[in-house]
Amino acid sequence: MSQQLIWNLAGIVYKEQAVNFLKRFEASLCVFSGSVEQVYANYNIWPVTADNSKLLVLPNPNNHHDTYQAVSADAVVKTGLFIVPGEAIGKTGLYLAKRQATTGKLQFAPLASGLRKVAEQMPANEPFLPVITNNDLRELNKHAPILHLHRVRPDLLKDLSHFDAGSLQKTIRAKMDKYLMCA
């Protein structure tokens, strides 16, 4: 089994809170595993230790069509964007955070409108296709979970057929759009 399927939360203080936060995104974010070069659109997150210090992220074996193979690690890049629970900043709901280039401080926007704005600002040939990876679950000031976002760059999906690359893009967008409609 790939080590990237086991997420180690040893450095996180409030592990149960972090696990619950991560599980909120099972239906809206895909997971990328670089060691096996796969994106999972349909997966489950399972604690494998009593103290929630390790999680197992497993693709749903009954939905093999929701696993995309041959997605190279080069095609998945950091965004510098974070999903933050409102409680961490004295608000309700979920927020998208980005560091200001000049000050390094985080700027916050409501998650749905922030994701829409990011997607609108992307070049037409480079859609915003967010995914999460192992080590993307972190803590903000040691008291609240945050989730870093990566994104798939379709122009770097060299080992996927045109059909599979299109299917992957549609799947990621559909999951994100489903979330945005509910937000």
Domain boundaries, the chain: 3-177
Model pLDDT for residues 150-171, shown as the tens digit of each residue: 999 999 999 989 999 999 999 9
Secondary element (H or E) of residue 22: helix 15-23
Tell me the C-alpha distance between 94 and 183, whole Å: 9
pLDDT digits (tens, 9 = 90+) for 62-82: 877 889 999 999 999 999 999
Rounded average pLDDT over 44-71: 87
How far is it, in rounded angstroms, from Cα 138 to Cα 9?
Answer: 8
Does residue 5 register a pLDDT over 90?
Answer: no
**Mean of the pLDDT values across residues 52-59?**
88
- Supply 1's token pair: 């089994």
pLDDT 10s digits, 104-137: 888 999 999 999 999 999 988 889 999 999 989 9
For residue 11, the model assigns a pLDDT of: 85
- Asked if pLDDT for residue 41 goes beyond 70, the answer is yes
Q: Quickly state the pLDDT bin for 1 (edges 50, 70, 90).
A: very low
The amino acid at 89: I
DSSP string computed for 44-60: EEEE-STTS-EEEEEE-
